[in-house]
Amino acid sequence: MTTAAGPNIRLYGLTKHYGAFKALDDVDLTIAPGEFLTLLGPSGSGKSTLLMALAGFVEPSDGDILVDGKSITALAPEKRNFGVVFQGYALFPHMSVADNVAYPLKIRSLPRAEIAKKVEDALALVQLDHLAKRSPKQLSGGQQQRVALARALVFSPEVLLLDEPMGALDKKLRHDLQLELRQLHRRLGRTFVNVTHDQEEALAMSDRIAIMRAGRIEQVGGPRELYDAPETRFVADFLGKSNFIEGKVIEADAGAVLVETADGPIRHATAGRPARVGDAVLLALRPQKLRLDPGGDNALSARVETAIFLGTHAEIGLRTESGLALTVNQPMERAEALPGEGSAIILSWDAHAAVAVKPD
Ligand SMILES: Nc1ncnc2c1ncn2[C@@H]1O[C@H](COP(=O)(O)OP(=O)(O)OP(=O)(O)O)[C@@H](O)[C@H]1O
Ligand SMILES: [Mg+2]
């Protein structure tokens, strides 16, 4: 076990134009030594551009990247001491596994004996030492992925930049590799910056997640914080599913408000995001916080439109009297008999279950 190592990285006003289009738009971000940071966002939101700007393969149009207080914005990629696994993880097809991993050391002109030792260590780290002589096309997707990882790690970079390293893998293999990558992060104690558009991967792996949208960082925080306290509709919707209910505050007390909605008044505990009478509010409500019985602080009548068994839980699609579509997740032990499609039910939730978010 090593302790957290790695530099302090700061991005200031990082911007990348492609013609009139802004792939990165004034991004500020601090990456702490040794942290596992994930860039999460939809396709085209600028994740790869941000990672490649960090790596030095994309030249920013504006802004600065500081490492331990020194600007590296003009520094060539190979001078940055950052290991990179690119999106699509292309290995050199005509080289053996060992030669692929040796490549970054060869271009750094290390002595041959030292290269052999480091390659062996890097392959052992990803548990592929027994396949050193194979060619990449004789490996599975997950094995190729681990070779790419070994190649990025072999020169002991202070920072590892990973662009969708498990993108091409099936779900089971991806899960296994995620666990391995997390253990590797713990063991090495280096900074990892990982790009994904898989929200489960982001939640499972990260110390912090930066949610990207249209070239900007919409919100950054720990997985729990982002999931439980999204600031915007976009974050509430992108990281896990959410129901949204619109309304207007008609009564406000310390810590709680009454919100008039198309389906009648509902109680909402404001939890640090106070609102005043007359304010328009948008409430985000996770599907698992809704119940199909009248027990909570709020109750609405609704009709069941769909009820789907998903193994651990059932997903139930409802429509309220005003026509609002809502989704409820019920754990299976409570959902042995799924409600029939078309049946009328009472839906309820507690006043503190919703979070007020900014609309898009
Ligand atoms: N060389 C380029 N020239 C013009 N536009 C570009 C270039 N590279 C990227 N873009 C545009 O910048 C935006 C951000 O691209 P980027 O590759 O960073 O997205 P991403 O978040 O990594 O998406 P994905 O999840 O699909 O990999 C996209 O709209 C893309 O089309
Ligand atoms: Mg990308």
Question: Ligand 1, atom 24: nearest CA belongs to which residue?
Answer: 43
Measured distance CA(218)–CA(140) in Å, rounded: 36
Q: Cite the residue boundaries of each domain of the chain with CATH code 3.40.50.300.
A: 9-234
Q: What is the pLDDT of residue 272?
A: 80
Ligand nearest to the CA of 213: 1
Kindly give the number of the ligand 1 atom that is closest to the alpha carbon of 215: 14
CB distance 309 to ligand 1 below 6 Å: no
Q: What is the pLDDT of residues 196-242, one digit of tens each?
A: 988 988 998 999 999 999 999 999 999 999 999 999 999 999 999 99
CA-angle at 128, arms to 123 and 134, nearest 5°? 100
Task: Specify the ligand 1 atom closest to the Cα of 45.
Answer: 21
Q: How far is the CA of 182 from the centre of ligand 2 (A)?
A: 21
What pLDDT is stored for residue 339 in this prediction? 86
- Residue written as token pair 């050193």: 132
pLDDT digits (tens, 9 = 90+) for 265-279: 999 999 888 889 999
Q: Two tokens at 26? A: 């004034």
Burial of residue 273 (CB within 10 Å: 0-12, 13-18, 19+) is middle
Report which protein residue has its CA nearest ligand 1's atom 31. 44
* Whole-number Å distance between alpha carbons of 39 and 198: 10
- Judged by its nearest atom, the ligand closest to the C-alpha of residue 25 is 1
CATH 2.40.50.140 domain locations along the chain: 241-356
Ligand 1 atom with the shortest distance to the CA of 164: 27
According to the model, what pLDDT value does residue 3 have? 55
In angstroms, the CA 309 to CA 155 distance is: 49
pLDDT in the model for residue 127: 85
Phi, psi of 264 (to 5 degrees): 105, 180
Task: Pick the ligand that lies closest to the CA of residue 39.
Answer: 1
49 within ligand 1 shell (Cβ under 6 A): yes
Query: What is the CA(275)–ligand 2 centre distance, in A?
Result: 38
Looking at ligand 1, which atom is closest to the CA of residue 52? 18
Q: How far is the CA of 199 from the centre of ligand 2 (A)?
A: 15
The answer for residues whose C-beta is within 8 angstroms of residue 200's C-beta and 6 or more apart is: none
Where the chain has pLDDT below 70, the residues are 1-4, 89, 168, 334-336
Query: Sign of the C-alpha dihedral, residues 166, 167, 168, 169?
Result: positive
Task: Domain 9-234: give its CATH code.
Answer: 3.40.50.300
Q: Which ligand 1 atom minimizes the distance to the CA of 49?
A: 18
CA of 86 to the centre of ligand 2 (A): 9
Q: What is the whole-number distance in angstroms between the Cα of residue 55 and the centre of ligand 1?
A: 15
- Integer Cα distance of 200 and 41 in angstroms: 12
Whose alpha carbon is nearest atom 18 of ligand 1? Answer: 46
Check pocket membership of 3 for ligand 1, CB cut-off 6 A. Answer: no
Burial 284-299 (b: 16+ CB within 10 A, else e): bbbbebbbbeeebebb
Look up the pTM and report it: 0.90
**Three-state secondary structure along 156-178?**
CCCEEEEECCCCCCCHHHHHHHH
Most ligand 1 atoms within 8 A of CB, residue of 14, 16, 17, 21 to mutate:
21
- Which ligand gives the minimal distance to the CA of 52? 1
Among 77, 80, 68, smallest CA distance to 159 is for: 80
162-171 residue pLDDT tens:
998 877 677 7
Q: For residue 166, what pLDDT is reported?
A: 77
- Cα separations in angstroms, 320 against 118, 257, 295, 339: 63, 21, 17, 15
Q: What CATH topology corresponds to 241-356? A: OB fold (Dihydrolipoamide Acetyltransferase, E2P) (2.40.50)
The bound ligand whose nearest atom lies closest to the alpha carbon of 23 is 1
From CA 333, how far away is CA 331, in angstroms rounded?
6
